[in-house]
Each structure stands twice: as structure tokens, then as C-alpha cells.
Structure 1
Amino acid sequence: MDGPDRPQTLSLKLPSGTDPASIRMRVEAMEMLLERSFRIPGVNVPIGLDAIIGLIPVVGDFITTAMGAYIIWEGRNLGLSKWQLSRMGANVAFDTAIGLIPLVGDAADFVFRSNSRNLRIIKKHLDKHHPETRIIEG
């Protein structure tokens, strides 16, 4: 079916390279998916899969922990220091631990965004060691 009645599909092409710019794009996309991919109607608050999947007791928290661990793995591939990787791991571990508490953990997903914190750590590293990866947003 072609034309205006054809359903729209979301297409996202992420680079598969191991260069810092490709890794930055993948990490930014994962953070967006986990923390800011939807907006709550009426209050315009961004939420992501971390908050939505986290509503599923225990299993949801472990799924989002694995997705957060991917960001740490990419940080390791970039050569982040052990201190930076430890901080990132602590962010994800805290998010997971708080997420296991019913209701409190679901509310905490709106306040403590471990993946956004980890993205900031990676961006700081990239801006210092690979400034060519910076994207000028206008």
C-alpha cells in the first residue's frame, strides 16, 4: 500500500563502527531510548523504557540493568578509566537496587536517571580525548 494511507515506520540507522564517533552515536541513542523516548501527556515530562519496563517487577529492572550495562561496555571500549567505569557501574547498580523496591523504585526512575549520568561521563571523556566527535547542536 503506497500513498498517505501507508503506515509510517520508524527507521533508525546506527553506525556499527568501533571509532569514537560511532560509539558516541550508539550510546546517545541508547540513553535517549532508556530515559527520554516518550513524553507524559499533559505534564510534558520525558520518560523512557527504563521507567516503563521497570514497572514489571524484578524482570523489568534486570532488563533495564542489562541495557544500562551496554553503555558501560561501550565506555570500556572507549578506554575510560577504571574510576569512570566504577562510577558508571555504581550509577546502574543504585538504579537497579532502588528499582527493586515496589513503587519507590518506579518513582525514582523519574528522578535518578543513571543512563543520563553515564552518558555525561562518556561525553566528558570524548570531549577531552576525541574532540572531533562533538556534535554542534543548534
Structure 2
Amino acid sequence: MADARQDNINLATETHLAHHAPKLKRMRQLSQLLDGAIAIPGTKRRIGIDPILGLIPGGGDTVSAALSGYIIIEAARIGLPREALMRMVGNIAIDTLVGTVPVLGDVFDVLSKANIRNMQIVESHIQAPPTNSAKTDKLFIVLLIVLLISFALAMGIATVAFWSFVANWIRG
């Protein structure tokens, strides 16, 4: 009886993985692009376009957060539990918030790898057999999207306002 139940769980997990394989592939590719696409010569380190986008004042971190949001949206569609999604949103929020600080934010973007950490969260949950309780409701997904977009826009607006203030102060 226990063997039959385990076989059913294994089959459900394999079916779940096969069904979501194209999404997972896109998520992995985007994560790699954002956090590890470019090898730094002479080191074992890699960077992605996230820290490069972060160099664009006022909008780079917002664009990066929006791209990172895709991974979170797909994770929600796959059925990750709310706790995992909230950890993922927290990773991106911290990455975006610290990323807006000149110089320190760029260094942090190179080191933090929030998207790779988020994919590790996805991978750890996707290996577990799917359960109905793990499904995330659509309202929660919409709220996550609104929260992430609002945060990214607020950070972009705050950055533009800060640099406008600095420019006006310098001009006297």
C-alpha cells in the first residue's frame, strides 16, 4: 500500500515537472541573463544584466525589478506557496531598494544574485509533489504583481526625484 502511494506521488511529481518544463526553462534562462550571463575574465565570478541596468539612473532598477517580476509571476502560476512567493518578492525588493543607492547598489547587484536565489526557491518547491493547498489563488497573484510594480515605480520615481534635487542643489 505504501509503495503504491509513493509510486503515485512520484508519477504526480514527474507529470508536474513535465507540464511546467517550458516555464521553468524560460525562468532559468531569464535568471541566468539577469544574474550570471557574463563571465568576468580572470575570476570565477559572473554578472548579468541586472547590475548593468542598475547603472541607468532612475529607471534601470525599475526595469530589472519588472523582469524579475516575471519569474515571480511564473512561480505563482506553477503553484508555489504564498510563503515562498513572499520570500521571492522580498529578495527582489531588497535588490531593488539597495540597487538605487549609487555605487553601493551597483556592487550589491553584482554580489546579491536575487534572481538565482529565487530560482533556487522555485527548484526546491517544484521537486516536491504538487498539492492542492500549494496552489496560489488568482487574487494573491494580482496583489503580488501590483505590489511589485508599485514598489519598482516608487523606487524609480524616488531616484529621479533625488537626482533632480541634487542637480538643482548643485546649480544653486
Q: Which category describes the TM-score, using the shorter chain as reference length?
A: 0.7 to 0.9
Report the Cα distance in structure 1 between the residues aligned to 2:23 and 2:85, rounded to whole angstroms: 16
Bigger radius of gyration, 1 or 2? 2
Structure 1: where are the runs of 5+ without partners?
A: 1-17, 131-138
Structure 2: where are the runs of 5+ without partners?
A: 1-17, 131-172
Report the Cα distance in structure 2 between the residues aligned to 1:35 and 1:83, rounded to whole angstroms: 23
TM-score by length of 2: 0.63
Correspondence 1:76-91 to 2 at 5 A: 76-91=76-91
Report the Cα distance in structure 1 between the residues aligned to 2:94 and 2:71, rounded to whole angstroms: 15
Give the fraction of aligned pairs with identical amino acids, expressed as a percent: 36
**2:162 is matched with which residue?**
none
Higher helix share: 2
Correspondence 1:39-54 to 2 at 5 A: 39-54=39-54
Report the Cα distance in structure 2 between the residues aligned to 1:30 and 1:73, rounded to whole angstroms: 13
Q: Runs ≥4 in structure 1, deviation > 3 angstroms?
A: none
Q: CA deviation at 1:19?
A: 2.8
Aligned AA (1:88)? M
Correspondence 1:1-138 to 2 at 5 A: 19-129=19-129
- 1:111 aligns to what SS in structure 2? helix
Determine if contact 1:91/1:114 at 8 Å carries over to the other structure: yes
Deviations 1:83-137 (A, max 9, x none): 111000000000000000000000001221110110001001111136xxxxxxx
- 1:66 aligns to what SS in structure 2? helix
Determine if contact 1:20/1:126 at 8 Å carries over to the other structure: no
Aligned AA (1:79)? G
What is the root-mean-square deviation in Å for CA atoms of aligned residues? 1.5
Report the Cα distance in structure 2 between the residues aligned to 1:118 and 1:63, rounded to whole angstroms: 17
Report the Cα distance in structure 2 between the residues aligned to 1:129 and 1:73, rounded to whole angstroms: 20
Q: Aligned residue pairs: how many?
A: 113
Deviations 1:58-82 (A, max 9, x none): 2000000000000000000111111
